[in-house]
Amino acid sequence: MKKICAIIHNRANYGSIKSVLLLLKKNKSFKLQIIVGGSANLERFGSVTKIIKNDKFKIDKKINFVIEGNSPLEMSKSTGLAILEISNSLDELKPDLVITVGDRYETIATAISASYMNIPLAHTMGGEISGTIDESVRHAVTKFSNIHFAATKIAKKNILKMGENKNYVFNVGCPRIDEVKKILKKEPAELQRIINSFGVGENLNLEKPFITIMNHPVTTEYGSGEKEISKILKIVNKIDIQKIVFWPNPDAGSEDISRGIRKWREKFGDHKTRYFKNLEQKYFYHILNKTECLIGNSSSGVREGSFIGVKNICIGSRQSGREIGKNTFMIKNKEKTLLSLLKKILKSKTKKIRDNRYGDGYAAERIVKILKNINFKYEKKLKY
């Protein structure tokens, strides 16, 4: 029985791997180990730990390593502390394989810990292109990884070009899509009630049109977050429609954006707007499915959005370079274009613009099948 250890760092992270964990847990060839760290244990970012437990997973280790401070210095140092904590956990759990997701500081910390401890590493979402520090982290993690589960054809090609061993690179689709597919099958009866019992602000009527704003900090633009979100809020408020606003995720710079939202709210109040720290995925994807338009810079709009077909106005550099479907409209200069683009979208009659470039809902099945048949250990060497 092979011990597979997944490390979950936040809500998004969990959603990106959940379908794989569910299959691994059921499969008798594997013993699943789960480490929960990063902001996933922190109440002020929505305790993901509880969600994981509700999904009936056993958590083997809970670790905390987020150093408060909200500047690049603390993000860097949290990476260091993460390595200390993850190394300790791996030493205790002694997995045969570590599986890690994406491109966050916790991901590179995981990659380094596993590599120096001679534990093979599998990576999902490698080979994609984006802006900011995530870009460097993602490809660095590829260079540490033994097994690559790319989410798209292009991503697989990129990983191979970077010199990885072709026997260990697979295009399986994104496991997030597995979850999206499952969730969208049926709308939860309680959706309308949930929306108005969580979060703060005015109540929403989901039968009527609404737009959704979701803006995360951009590490390389540290310090400008307050201005950015303020501009967006100012523009979208020119349109008389219901609004959902999400607080940013807790990277360096999140305080800036939060402050921008708080100030807006204190100054102008809650006209038809409801604010969420986060929403469980089973509700969130229905919101994406129902919203007239998503506005901001979140990867959900690009990724799950292309499968869902939600119209997505993506502002600034955070997703630049990222493979996008036709549902996404990249804009740079929001002052000039956001308002007109948003008006156009709200008038359009095409409801959805779908494609499968990020997966068809069977990523987890492919991954687990591969893990059953592959050798985890081999010596990595640039393949040119």
Restricting to residues 74-133, name those near a second copy by CB under 8 A.
Answer: 74-77, 79-85, 87-88, 91-92, 105, 108-109, 111-113, 115-118, 129, 131-133
Asked whether position 68 contacts a second copy by CB under 8 A, the answer is: yes
Q: How many residues bind a second copy (CB under 8 A)?
A: 72
Considering only residues 138 through 197, tell me which ones interact with a second copy, judged by CB under 8 A.
139-144, 157-158, 161-163
Considering only residues 211 through 240, tell me which ones interact with a second copy, judged by CB under 8 A.
219-220, 222
- State in angstroms the smallest separation of the CB of 79 from a second copy: 6
Q: Name which of 39 and 278 has its Cβ closer to a second copy.
A: 39
- State in angstroms the smallest separation of the CB of 54 from a second copy: 19
Under 8 Å CB-to-CB from 198, ≥6 apart: which residues?
276, 279
Which backbone phi and psi does 320 adopt, to 5 degrees?
-70, 140
Q: How far is CA 89 from CA 14, 93, 148, 224, in A?
A: 18, 6, 23, 36
> Which strands, in side-by-side order, build the sheet including 169-171?
61-62, 30-36, 2-8, 97-101, 121-124, 147-150, 169-171
Cβ atoms < 10 Å from Cβ of 73: 11
The region of 3-11, 60-68, 275-283, 291-299 touching a second copy under the rule CB under 8 A is 60-68
Q: Name which of 33 and 39 has its Cβ closer to a second copy.
A: 39
Pairing of strands 30-36, 61-62: parallel
Question: Alpha-carbon Rg of the chain, whole angstroms?
Answer: 20
214 pairs with which residues across the strands?
Answer: 246, 296
- State in angstroms the smallest separation of the CB of 209 from a second copy: 27
- State in angstroms the smallest separation of the CB of 285 from a second copy: 26
> Under a CB-based contact definition with an 8 Å cutoff, are residues 250 and 66 in contact?
yes
Query: Residues 1, 185, 207, 266: which binds a second copy (CB under 8 A)?
Result: 266
Q: Name which of 121 and 295 has its Cβ closer to a second copy.
A: 121
Asked whether position 49 contacts a second copy by CB under 8 A, the answer is: no
Taking residues 195 to 214 in sequence order and writing x for each that binds a second copy by CB under 8 A, - otherwise, the string is -----x--------------
- State in angstroms the smallest separation of the CB of 268 from a second copy: 15
- State in angstroms the smallest separation of the CB of 157 from a second copy: 8
- Residue 175 CB-density burial (10 A; 0-12 exposed, 13-18 middle, 19+ buried): buried
Distance of alpha carbon 38 from alpha carbon 41, whole angstroms? 7
Start-end of H helices in 186-294: 191-197, 225-236, 254-268, 281-290
Asked whether position 41 contacts a second copy by CB under 8 A, the answer is: yes
Q: Name which of 87 and 337 has its Cβ closer to a second copy.
A: 87
